[in-house]
Amino acid sequence: MSEDRVIYENEMERPSGGKFDAIEAIVKELKSSNPYPESIFPEISTQDLAIIHDFLRREMGFPIDRLSGHLGRKIYKSIIDDLIEKLKEANNET
Q: Does residue 85 form part of some domain?
A: yes
Q: Could you tell me which residues come within 8 angstroms of residue 25 by beta carbon, excluding any fewer than 6 positions away?
A: 90
Q: Does residue 12 form part of some domain?
A: no
Q: Does residue 76 form part of some domain?
A: yes
- Domain of 68? 34-93
Written as tens digits, the pLDDT of the chain (94 aa) is 445 555 566 665 666 666 777 788 888 888 888 888 899 999 999 999 999 999 999 999 999 999 999 999 999 999 899 888 888 887 787 5
Q: Is the Cα torsion angle 8, 42, 46, 58 positive or negative in sign?
A: negative
Q: Could you tell me which residues come within 8 angstroms of residue 11 by beta carbon, excluding any fewer than 6 positions away?
A: 5
Q: Does residue 20 form part of some domain?
A: no
Q: What is the pLDDT, as a whole number, of residue 1? A: 44
Q: What pTM did the predictor assign?
A: 0.65
Q: Does residue 14 form part of some domain?
A: no
User: Is the distance from CB of 57 to CB of 63 less than 8 angstroms?
Assistant: yes
Number of domains in the chain: 1
Pairwise CA distance, residues 16 & 8, whole Å: 11
Pairwise CA distance, residues 64 & 70, whole Å: 10
Q: Does residue 48 form part of some domain?
A: yes
Q: Does residue 4 form part of some domain?
A: no
